[in-house]
Amino acid sequence: MGTKRKMLSSTFALFMAMAGHAQNKITVAVAANMQYTMDALKVEFKKTDSTEIEVVLGASGQLTQQIMQGAPFDIFVSADTDYPAKLAASNFAAARPEIYTRGVLVLWSVKPGVQLDPTLKNLVSENIQHIAIANPTTAPYGKAAKALMEKYNIYDKIKSKIVTGESITQASQFIATSAADIGFTAKSIVISNQMKGIGHWIELKEEDYPAILQAAVLLKYGQENRARESKKFYDFLVSPPAKEIYKKFGYLAK
Amino acid sequence: MIEFEPFWLTFKLAFFATVILFLVSIPLGSWLSKKGNIAKTCVEVLVSMPLVLPPTVFGFYLLVAFSPENAFGGFLDHWLGLRFVFSFGGLLVASVIYSLPFMVHPIQSGFSSLPPSLKEAAYSLGKSRWDTLIHVLLPGIKSSLIAGVILTFAHTVGEFGVVLMIGGNIPGKTRTASIAIYDEVEAFRYGNANVYAVILLILSFVVLFTMYWRNRRTQQVRIL
């Protein structure tokens, strides 16, 4: 009996300690493609601040839906600008969304025979049967890829070859497993530790597709519950040390 | 914009998967219903695997296996001219594997519930094995067969994860109703998503209702 009670009270004490700790913790909803970058950002932020950063990963669209349903997130780091703008318009934002970085579109293939041409001419060739892109209606990299194909007047010719991943991650999976012969993805993915050295890729010309701007937004929930900590991390996202990290992970400092 | 192609595709997929599984599961279920050794138990486990494996795992393995760069996918591509990634054929193969337990289990339990004397009587009256199966055994497990068909059809209509993983969302080929609904929700077009969902709900209700209603009298085995 004695030990049981002791265990119970020490468990209780542990929970109390954890609850006390939670005061100094913020929850950040992060677009899945920013996962590794966010790990590095957390390490950098830790050097100057004791605030715990808890990360919840998901597709930007899904996270936005969750926030609109009342999910307890302090900051939202999106992979585009539309979702943060939508949150701001629906009165979930505590401040105007801020653009923190810009993504780079690449053309990637793991098949040895496939040529990579920045003007996309060879996409019509017979030995390319499937071209993977992210969903152009929901994913910014998909939107950019479609715009690029349209710019080179090739989209209608190769429409039937296009396979759509629900996110940039899934489109990359199609390419990495060579289920698709070639595809459009993010530079941050092809230079990540997991994918480095797999297949070959080229960067596409920045002026050829609409800029893939990524914005973050400070949420009302964060403002109301942990104003100081939330604001500090939010400001850190656009600070010079953070920009160095974005560059290292395959993004352009905006 | 609401399109009807995803529904047509979904029901086509469910129909073919059900037909194939029906033909496969009768011999398989019959074999599994007899007492067996360790090998048979292994087969039983494999048949039940799709109940446990998350569709993402299953879909990923299929994606890798079907890829033309791998031995199996390469063989299909090179020798048979079949490409299973991003095609209706691929979805069909995936659905057949993924819905296997939903057809095999009811049929297997149907066969094991038949008294052995039934078969012995048919044999001793001079019926061949084939005649016995068609005229004695299968009518005897009619309700199990119907349960298997309904479950398989319904499960394939509702399939989502595997289709998402290996389909590639191609309109008219791999964009099924469940994927269309997901896309609409993702794009914040809740109205469209709702229309798709209601249509799917009504169609599924009608199909299942017709099957149950026609068989309201044969209900010795209740699976659902």
The secondary structure element, H or E, covering residue A27 is strand A25-31
For residues A46 and A25, membership in a common domain is answered with yes
ipTM for the predicted complex: 0.72
Residue B102: inside a domain: yes
Contact flag A164-B170 (C-beta cutoff 8 Å): yes
Give me B107's structure tokens: 């049929």
- The tens digit of pLDDT for each residue in A74-91 reads 999 998 899 999 999 999
Contact flag B182-A178 (C-beta cutoff 8 Å): no
For residues A27 and A82, membership in a common domain is answered with yes
Residue A12: pLDDT band with limits 50, 70, 90: low
User: For residue B170, what is the nearest residue in chain A, using CA coordinates?
Assistant: A163
For residues A6 and A94, membership in a common domain is answered with yes
Give me A73's structure tokens: 């997130």
Contact flag A177-B63 (C-beta cutoff 8 Å): yes
Considering only residues B146 and B186, tell me which one the structure prediction assigns the higher pLDDT.
B146
- The tens digit of pLDDT for each residue in B106-127 reads 999 999 999 988 888 888 898 8
Give me B135's structure tokens: 């005229």
Contacts of B182 in chain A (CB under 8 A): 166
For residues A124 and A135, membership in a common domain is answered with yes
Contacts of A135 in chain B (CB under 8 A): 169, 183, 186
What is the structure's pLDDT at A169? Answer: 87
Range of the domain at A57: 2-102+212-248
- The tens digit of pLDDT for each residue in B74-92 reads 888 778 777 788 899 999 9
Mutate which of B85, B164, B165, B178 to disrupt the A interface (most A C-beta within 10 Å)?
A: B85
Range of the domain at B30: 5-214
CB contacts < 8 A (A, B): 62
Contact flag A130-B66 (C-beta cutoff 8 Å): no
Give DSSP secondary structure letters for B26-80. HHHHHHHHS---HHHHHHHHHHHHHHHS-HHHHHHHHHHHHSTTSHHHHHIIIII
What is the structure's pLDDT at A9? Answer: 66
Average pLDDT over residues B149-176: 90
Which pTM value belongs to this model? 0.79
User: What distance in Å separates the CA atoms of residue A135 and residue B191, rounded to the nearest whole number?
Assistant: 19
- The tens digit of pLDDT for each residue in B2-18 reads 888 999 999 999 999 99
The count of structural domains within chain A is 2
Mutate which of A159, A174, A175, A181 to disrupt the B interface (most B C-beta within 10 Å)?
A: A174
User: What distance in Å separates the CA atoms of residue A17 and residue A92, rounded to the nearest whole number?
Assistant: 31
Contact flag B86-A59 (C-beta cutoff 8 Å): no
Residue recorded with tokens 């005897």: B140
For residues A37 and A80, membership in a common domain is answered with yes
Q: Which CATH number covers residue A241?
A: 3.40.190.10
The count of structural domains within chain B is 1
Neighbours of A125 (CB within 10 A): 14
Contact flag B170-A173 (C-beta cutoff 8 Å): no
Q: Residue A32: exposed, middle, or buried by beta-carbon count in 10 A (0-12, 13-18, 19+)?
A: middle
